[in-house]
Chains A and B, each alone.
Chain A
Amino acid sequence: MSDSENRPGWAVYATHSGEAAEGGVLGRAGPKIDGRARILGAALYTDDLHLPRMVVGKFVRSTQPHARIVSIDVSGALAMPGVVGYAIGSELPQKYGVIPVAQDETAMAIGKVRYIGEAIACIAAVDEETAHRAVRAVKVEYEPLPAVLTIEDALDPSKPHIHEGSRKPSNILRRIFQEYGDIDKGFAAAEVVIEDTYEYPGSTHVPLETHVALANLEPDGKLTLWSSTQNPHYVHRDVAHVLGMREQDIRLIKPTVGAGYGGKCDPFCTDIVAAHLARKLRRPVKITLEREEVFYTHRGRHPTRMWLKMGFAKDGSITAIDFKAWAEGGAYASYGVVTSYYLGVFMPLPYTLENYRFESHRLYTNKPPCGPKRGHGAIQPRLALEMHIDRAAQALGLDPAEMRRANCIAPDTETCNGLKVTSVGMRECIDAVVTASGYHTRRGALGPGRGLGLAASAYMCGALHPVYQNELSQSCVQLKVDRSGEVTLYSGTADCGQGSVHMLAALCAERLGIEPSDVRVIEGDTSLTPVDLGSYSSRVTFMAGNACVSASDKVREKLAAAVAAKLGVEPAALTFNGRRVFVTTAPDRALSFVDAVWLAEEMFGPIGEVGGYKPHKIGSRFRRQSVGPSPAYSFTAQVAEVSCDLETGIVVVDKIWVAHDCGRAINRTIVEGQIEGCVYMGVGEALFEEQRYRGGLHAVPSLLEYKIPTVHETPEIETFIVETHDPNGPFGAKEAGEGPQLSTVPAIANALHDATGIWFTRPPFTPEVVLAEISRAARAAAQRPPESS
């Protein structure tokens, strides 16, 4: 029995009747099949790998935010004993980027630098110490250019373009404008209109493992690249593209990865330059980033300024939303085009909305590039929207929980912007956290400086469309079953700690009636495993899970046919469970799983099956809605309890109650872990985390000064899993890795209002900011004339 089963707050809601879990694997709690290797330190990460004759690459990085590179002099470095070679940007001129319409990056800067910390050159040496010394001996001469450092700068046509040749009037990567329904009519029908601006800060992922790549040129001229990536497939394509090699001549292997949270979704200079230098020097090359370099590599949360206007009817229903966002994206596009959509497309969830307009801008500035971070693009507007809901409830005299509950979209609806929603567990989530936290009786009653706040949210389960146009499977799984009884599962997925290896093993085991530990999962190796698009947009459980079930079903069909023939029954009469295949009505008439495999191989020849998954076409009314549609959506509600020290401004999150509709928990422990991880990251963004700059220089590129919560700052988290059995998910499963973060920060902000009477519209809620607002409110209250009664 696991901890989660003993936990008093544990509850499972089922709103749809699910398929029976025949194999007995689904819904279990317990450790991952690959957990022990990580805990014992036996798992091999990229930096653990060593090859004979291997050298170490180290980057020379820009000290200027925006400057022309006049000269790069590596002679001092090359003269040092132990230095074996170098590479500079002009050797790799091919631009790349995951998003085909915004490929603006080269592996290292060519001609000019666009942010402090950008790679300019790479020195290869026999060891880390030598490489370090050599990097310090490289001389780079700059001619500074005016830097573009703020949202105002980026919108200013008089500022220089960060990317030459742009036809935009200022440093705008992408502007999105969408309008649905009749926005004016909506506002005209409103009883209350709330309008305000919000600022959400940039933050970074902080994976414990930094970015690492190891490249080796094989004797046949082919290249092997080990990379700590979330997206082996996209990295594979881009490395081939930049190096001018055939994809089939590059084998990309993803060893154990120590987390990503979106920070390892792009192809990085580590990957491309290690590969390039391995070819150039004909020696294996490893590049391991230092923590400081990860802060410059970034691709984290976009600092976003938002303006939100919402109309509400007397009953609390939303009559219209008008939303504008400006996201400061740093020097390169990364996934920024997608960000510009994600800022707006999820606003019509989870509340009923007919009239909606949004305009978003993704901007360039001379700072480290922003990209996808857990809850990509949807985190920032969720703060604004959920605070607006509480503010409207206050204005209308409604209960914020009841108001949210009453306006939840129903299952099987299409939103005003064409998102087709299947299963919805929103109300169950709200009920779970409201009940457990005593929200109705305790909110407003905890005394000065203490408060409760609620927020709800929805997120996607994989993007309907791949980032490059194709009609192929987005996830593929291959199974090999042989007479040993071992099942080997090949998948191009990239587990970065979230548990997708276990998820695949569990789904396969469930279908074949064996244990997850009987399934050996080989993943993330482009020469061994079929393509999977990668660990992004919360797609893996839904898409790779479906591919896995498909392949498993094909194996099962052959085993069932063989066993049925042997036992003289119909295949449908058989049950797969407990490493046996037996007649459901007469369990003693059974064969072991191994015997079933023998029989099947006798009947069909060697057993190997493949399964693929591609979302079925969702006919949207809106052609332009290419980013946002997902095959399913997850839902979350949270209540935060906070204490605010009114003398110091220090905010402590005492407890979070969180309920998440993950469709179906394949492994409850992993789902809980993902939910807790989301809450943890949300608490960090609410209270501490911000990519701060002094001009273009990152102010705090270290784990000492970039504060992520320690165990002391992490609240007690009570988790509720809500199961809705999505009709299209594998056994009804959706996602759990990103969605739960969306409502953490707004729940804390709403709780802070309950505690202080102040709407804090700009995280992080640091003591100095909170204390200043408390003092301001006190002064304003003192100056206000007494109300006449």
Chain B
Amino acid sequence: MLPLPTFEYAAPTTVLEASRLLGTPGSRLVAGGTDLLVSMKHRLFEPRLLVSTRRLGLRGVSVADGVLSVGAGTTLREVARHPTVLEHLPSLAAACRTVATPTIQGMATLGGNLMLDTRCLYYNQPAGWRASLGYCLKREGTVCHVAPKGRGCYAAHSADTVPALWLLGAEAEFVSVRGVRRIPVSSMYHDDGMAWLRLEPDDVLTAVHVPLAGRAVGHRKLRTRQAIDYALVLVAVRAPVDGGLWSAVVSSVSPSPIFVEAATPADLAEAAFRACQPLSTHLPAATWRKKMVRVEVARAAAALTSA
């Protein structure tokens, strides 16, 4: 058995109380826990305090004024099965259904997915293994094994729902002791594997708002197996209207998702290929993953064209 480290646990009933607790050192927010608890077992985090979202009333989906609002504590399964999501936002439903396994989708939350830690072959490993390697830049070490001469940490953004939400124009709502604010999903992330979130530690993600009238978005997740696995290349593609541009967001190839646009699907695939420089954060060769960026974007665009 891989035991969890010892920690304190709090389940506050107001978001402000949660924010206040998160402002104290060594605390972390936990929702479904499907990723966080595994990382804790690997000793990637040994938080003093876990602050749970379960009593914050963040679970549920509502529709008003052409906007779908999803509570951050809503499970991916609930999102994927919601009639409005299925009818108006099929790419979001599809993205939720590609996360891990059906059982994990029943536990993991949409908010947790947006806040997912960046991932790397040299980081998401048990403590003894990382000790054998001399640890890594992101945790306990000084060297990045992916790019020993690089400028920082290249752990990959791996949140399955983010590329689709980005292109759907979704906004994330945060509450803290400083107040309420909305940030477009497209502005949430930094290109830094260690500090990939443009947020304060006491920001509590409460909801995700998605306009229903957006343009058609296609979603594709390339992975080794059709269940369990994190993405090797994750893409969302948006079709243009009235002679506008095609857009794509590519993830799992760098710490932040990458946005590109172009006039044609072929140019879009080429632009994505040029923009993405995947490194050896995953087992399959980075050169192959780079080629797959072009293929996946082209296929996502083709699916939209034929639909």
Contact = CB atoms under 8 A, between A and B. Distances in A.
Co-assembled chains A and B:
yes
A63 B295 contact: no
A552 to B, nearest CB: 43
A704 B229 contact: yes
Given A292-B126, A700-B283, A705-B283, A129 B225 contact: no
A712 B225 contact: yes
B121 A705 contact: yes
Given A128-B3, A648-B295, A710 B129 contact: no
B133 A694 contact: yes
Interface of B: 1-3, 6, 121, 124-129, 131-133, 222, 224-230, 283-285, 287-288, 291-292, 295
Contacts of A713: 225-226
A136 interface: yes
A292 B132 CA distance: 13
A129 B6 contact: yes
B284 A290 contact: no
A92 B282 CA distance: 41
Contacts of A290: 1-2, 126
B227 A702 contact: no
A692 B128 contact: no
Given A649-B288, A767-B284, A767-B288, A702 B126 contact: yes
A290 B224 CA distance: 24
Contacts of A13: none
B225 A697 contact: no
28 contacts: A116-B132, A128-B1, A129-B6, A136-B127, A288-B1, A291-B2, A292-B126, A648-B222, A648-B295, A697-B132, A700-B121, A701-B125, A701-B126, A701-B129, A704-B229, A705-B121, A707-B225, A709-B225, A710-B225, A710-B228, A712-B226, A712-B227, A713-B225, A713-B226, A766-B284, A768-B284, A768-B288, A772-B288
B interface SS class? loop
A132 interface: yes
Contacts of A698: 129
B223 to A, nearest CB: 10
A694 B127 CA distance: 16
A759 interface: no
Contacts of B224: 688, 707
Nearest to B124: A704
Contacts, number: 73
Interface in A259-297: 288, 290-292
Interface string A393-434: 000000000000000000000000000000000000000000
B284 A292 contact: no
Q: Which 4 A-B pairs have the closest CB atoms?
A: A712-B226, A768-B288, A63-B132, A129-B3
Contact of A702 (B125, B287, B291, B292): B125
Contacts of A357: none
Contacts of A136: 127
A704 B129 contact: no
Contacts of B121: 699-700, 705
A647 interface: yes
Contacts of B125: 701-702
A596 interface: no
A771 B227 contact: no
A768 B225 contact: no
Given A768-B285, A771-B291, A61 B128 contact: yes
A649 B285 CA distance: 13
Nearest to B222: A648
Nearest to B226: A712
A697 B133 contact: yes
Nearest to B3: A129
A692 B226 CA distance: 22
A767 B131 CA distance: 31
B295 A132 contact: no
A288 B227 CA distance: 28
A292 B129 contact: yes
Interface in A548-588: none
B221 to A, nearest CB: 13
Contacts of B124: 704
A621 B128 CA distance: 53
A171 B288 CA distance: 36
A707 B284 CA distance: 12
Contact of A692 (B132, B228, B283, B287): B283
B78 to A, nearest CB: 23
Given A128-B1, A697-B129, 18 more contacts: A116-B132, A132-B3, A288-B1, A290-B2, A292-B129, A688-B225, A692-B283, A698-B129, A701-B129, A702-B126, A704-B230, A705-B121, A710-B226, A710-B228, A712-B227, A767-B284, A768-B284, A772-B288
B133 to A, nearest CB: 6
A771 B288 contact: yes
Interface in A105-135: 116, 128-129, 132
B122 to A, nearest CB: 9
Interface string A756-767: 000000000011
Nearest to B299: A647
A395 to B, nearest CB: 32
B222 to A, nearest CB: 8
Contacts of A697: 129, 132-133
A701 B133 CA distance: 13
B284 A63 contact: no
Interface string A34-71: 00000000000000000000000000010110000000
Interface in A702-735: 702, 704-705, 707, 709-713
Contacts of B226: 710, 712-713
A432 B265 CA distance: 48
Nearest to B232: A767
A499 B128 CA distance: 37
A647 B126 CA distance: 35
Contacts of A64: 132
A432 B194 CA distance: 58
A697 B121 CA distance: 13
A648 B133 CA distance: 32
B93 to A, nearest CB: 19
Contacts of B295: 647-648
A692 B282 CA distance: 13
Nearest to A708: B225
A206 B230 CA distance: 20
A709 B225 CA distance: 7
Contacts of A705: 121, 283
Interface in A192-222: none
Nearest to A293: B128
Nearest to B228: A710
A703 to B, nearest CB: 8
A225 B260 CA distance: 63
Contacts of B128: 61, 63, 292
B283 A699 contact: yes
Interface in A224-269: none
Q: Which among A64, A128, A707 has the greatest number of chain B C-beta atoms within 10 A?
A: A707
Contacts of B291: 771
A651 to B, nearest CB: 12
B5 to A, nearest CB: 9
A700 B128 CA distance: 13
A649 B224 CA distance: 12
Contacts of B287: 768
Nearest to B230: A704
Interface in A650-700: 688, 692, 694, 697-700
Nearest to B1: A128
A766 B283 CA distance: 11
A712 B287 CA distance: 26
Nearest to B132: A63
A119 to B, nearest CB: 12
Given A63-B131, A699-B121, A705-B121, A710 B227 contact: yes
A164 B141 CA distance: 35
Nearest to A688: B224
B267 to A, nearest CB: 18
Nearest to A703: B228
Nearest to B43: A136
